[in-house]
Amino acid sequence: MTGPIYAVGDIHGQLSELDHILSLIEKDGGADAEIVFLGDYTDRGPDSRGVIERLIEGRDAQSNWTFIKGNHDRMFEWFMQDPLRHDPYLMVELYWLHQRLGGDTTLASYGVDASGKQREKDVQAEARNAVPQAHLDFLADLQLTHIVGDLMFVHAGIRPGIPLADQTEEDMLWIRQQFHTYTGPHPKLIVHGHTPIDRPTHYGNRVNLDTGAGYGKPLTAAVFEGDAVWSLTEKGRQALAP
């Protein structure tokens, strides 16, 4: 790495939190800071549309930003396809528009009522008229991983013992227990989100930056420079060590 890299945890439709984090990053690293967003831009929070618009604005302004795909982003992308696709990883009783997952709030940010009063196909038809094609293209273009030096950025994690090149999309978007309980070394330091925790945590072989913005808690950013890791706060960098 030639300079610091900033990583931002799961945003989940929290535009004001995103703007706040971007201001902290700019204060610490300048307007050209390299930022990796770890996915889950949509669902649960009130302004998924605004979050995607802000990220597209940064991309179009040639900001040094990289966008990782989260499982919630894929659920949104798949819902909008013809034919409509459900994520097979979800439990039988769950679907993207379920309040627990938050697709209803995502579509509400586009002016679409997905509160359960309409059939799913009717909601999809309304959504396809309301969601800009540029937003769908953004979702489709998201990448699963980003590797820089000894760092690997991914949404959920990786399956231990499997070469990085052989990791599956399902694991990189959904894995939890097998990844979290593994304490041995990975080929890279894995920087991820996906599973909410109280504060950003460095586990030695991975760093989790999902601090529950989807549930109204603060969004988190971290700084990676050399072998050091910091969380980024109002008071500047705070060391984040194993």
pLDDT values of the chain reduced to their tens digit, one per residue, 242 residues: 578 999 999 999 999 999 999 999 999 999 999 999 999 999 999 999 999 999 999 999 999 999 999 999 999 999 999 888 888 888 766 789 888 899 999 999 999 999 877 788 899 999 999 999 999 999 999 999 999 999 999 999 999 999 999 999 999 999 999 999 999 999 999 999 999 999 999 999 999 999 999 999 999 999 999 999 999 999 999 999 99
Instruction: Name the β-bridge partners of 221.
Output: 8
User: How many residues in the chain?
Assistant: 242
Give the 3-state secondary structure of residue 95.
Answer: coil
Query: CB under 8 Å to 27, separation ≥6 — which residues?
Result: none
pLDDT at residue 92 in the model: 62
Cα separation of 218 and 214, whole Å? 9
